[in-house]
Amino acid sequence: MEATEANLKALMIAALDGDSAAYRVLLEMLQTRLQLFFQRRLSRELDAVDDLVQETMLAIHTRRGTYDRSLMFTAWSFAIARYKLVDHFRRNGRKPTMSLDEAGFLFVNDESASVDARHDIDRAIGRLPAATQALIRDIKLRELSISEVAKARGASEAAVRVALHRAMKKLGSQFKGNRVEK
Amino acid sequence: MKSDFLQTLSMDLGPVSRWFVARRLLVGISGGVVISAVLMLLLLGVRPDVWRMVGAGVFWLKQAYALAFTVIAGLSAERLARPSGDGRRWIIWLLVPFVFVLGVASLQLANVAPDSRVPMLMGQSASLCPWQVLFFAIPPLVGLVWAMRGLAPTRLREAGAVIGLAAGGAGAFIYALHCTEDAVPFLAAWYTVGILTCALLGWAVGPLLLRWR
């Protein structure tokens, strides 16, 4: 950590004196650090990460005159990244700290997430064999009891239970597959 | 990310002066002070007895008091214009001129008859003075806002308050060239109120006006 600070700081000071090769190295080191910084804080909107990395690097570049050699370089660049992150939240109507007003926003967000999830489940169920589909819909979505389903199909409760267990396992594996695809 | 972006940034890299921040703040406030000075000369004029007063201590005390705010708050602004810069290191020094002027004012008040203390404090223009100071502080404040927006403050309220203090000092400096109130209690009270009002204004508009992209 301290070695990084000393490294980056030396590169920055060289860059401020006009050394463009040192500056190029510095920018590359910064780029990976900034990517990590934003990825960690924007896990729900990863598509915004690249833009923010680029914006932050541009700000670091155009405002590099505000770096003072007595400041820690990591603190200085981190403060710019944090400013850009807060600015991003602000522009999207969200603040990093939560207030009462924002509780409403959270609910809206959660609701849309659960609607999304329902669509995903419907799609996944659609890929199962027809008999299994009906089984899952009856029990998990319409919330019929196992004995009701067994009676309706003329099967034993144990058989329904086993079939259901297998169906849920299959469904679960689909979601795992989905996540890897993404 | 495309490496031509990095290429573009590192191309034609010129050296950057260590005085980049200070110079920009100085340009901003100077432009404002020139405008304020012209406005003062056109609207009010320099006090008629100025040539007699340049030999008087109180004339210089007023100018120095105003200037102290500009210099100390300016040094603080120089730190707050930088990401992760800490302005508190300097701002505490404002206590020195303030306590000094407050002390002189108290001595003056203690040395006059009790029933002339209130007239001494209020002078002829107590209700006007803070507003005049604020009026002549606006151009320097605008100049400093311009300067700050080209730098990189990350604590926008603090930065706004500090450039408000610096601009308030500059406005007080200009107005003091016109104002004929020469009692130190008047200076301690009404000039200070004018300068602090400007700081409050800066504090209020900081998050709105100092945001940079």
Distance from CA of A15 to the nearest CA of B (A): 7
ipTM: 0.87
pLDDT of residue B1: 52
Average pLDDT per consecutive 10 residues, chain A (182 residues; last block may be shorter): 82 93 93 93 87 94 94 94 93 59 36 51 70 73 71 77 77 58 34
**Contacting residues of A for B212, CB less than 8 Å apart:** 59, 63
**Contacting residues of A for B154, CB less than 8 Å apart:** 79-80, 82-83
Neighbours of A113 (CB within 10 A): 11
Contact between B36 and B140 under an 8 Å Cβ cutoff? The reply is: yes
**Contacting residues of A for B82, CB less than 8 Å apart:** 66-68, 71, 76
Which segments of chain B have a pLDDT < 50?
none
pLDDT of residue A142: 64
> Which residues belong to CATH 1.10.10.10 in chain A?
113-180
Distance from CA of B7 to the nearest CA of A (A): 7
pLDDT of residue A92: 84
% residues pLDDT > 70 (chain B): 99
B47-60 as b/e: b if 16+ CB within 10 A:
beeeeebeeeeebe
Tell me the CATH class for A113-180.
mainly alpha
- The Cα-based distances of B67 to A144, B94, B163, B175 in angstroms read 82, 11, 13, 12
* pTM of structure: 0.75
> Which residues belong to CATH 1.10.1740.10 in chain A?
5-97
pLDDT of residue A91: 87
Smallest CA-to-CA distance from B85 within A61, A63, A178, A95 is with: A63
Topology of domain A5-97 in CATH is: Rna Polymerase Sigma Factor; Chain: A (1.10.1740)
pLDDT tens per residue, range B106-119: 999 999 999 999 99
pLDDT of residue A159: 80
